[in-house]
Amino acid sequence: MNGKEGPGLRKALRLTALVFPCLYAFASQVATVIFVASLLVVLAGLEVARLRHPAVNERLFGCAGAVLREGERSRVTAITWFVLASLLLGARPGNGVEMRCYET
C-alpha cells in the first residue's frame, strides 16, 4: 500500500464506529456490553503483547499499518480507547441510546 491509502482507509473505517450505537439501539444492553467487553479484552491483549514485544509490534504494523498511525507504534492505539469509551458509556444504566417507538 502506498502512503495515500492509509488516511483514506482510516477515514472509511471510522464509519464502523456506527456499529456501537446500532448495537445499543437494536440489541439488549447486556448482549451489547458483553460483545464490546469481549472486543476490548482482545484489543487489550494485543496492545500488551505488541507493546512488550517489538517483534509482535512490527508484525501487527506490517499487517494493519495502513490504518495505524506512526505515533501508535509506542502507545495504545486509538481504537482501543474508543472501544473502552463505548463500553463505559454503554454499560451505565439509562444511557439514553435506546430507541423509543411512539404510536401516532
| DSSP letters for 6-35 | HHHHHHHHGGGGGHHHHHHHHS-HHHHHHH
- Cα angle 10, 19, 96; round to 5: 125
Average pLDDT over residues 7-22: 76
Q: Among the listed ranges 42-46, 59-63, 95-99, which one has the minimum average pLDDT value?
A: 95-99
Q: Which amino acid type is present at position 51?
A: L
12: its cell numbers? 472509511
More confident residue, 53 or 21: 53
Q: Which of 1-15, 47-61, 63-77 reaches the highest mean pLDDT?
A: 47-61
Q: Among the listed ranges 10-14, 38-42, 82-86, which one has the minimum average pLDDT value?
A: 10-14
Averaged confidence pLDDT in the chain = 80
Residue (of 7, 9, 18) closest to 86 by Cα position: 18
At a CB cut-off of 8 Å and minimum separation 6, what does 21 contact? 97
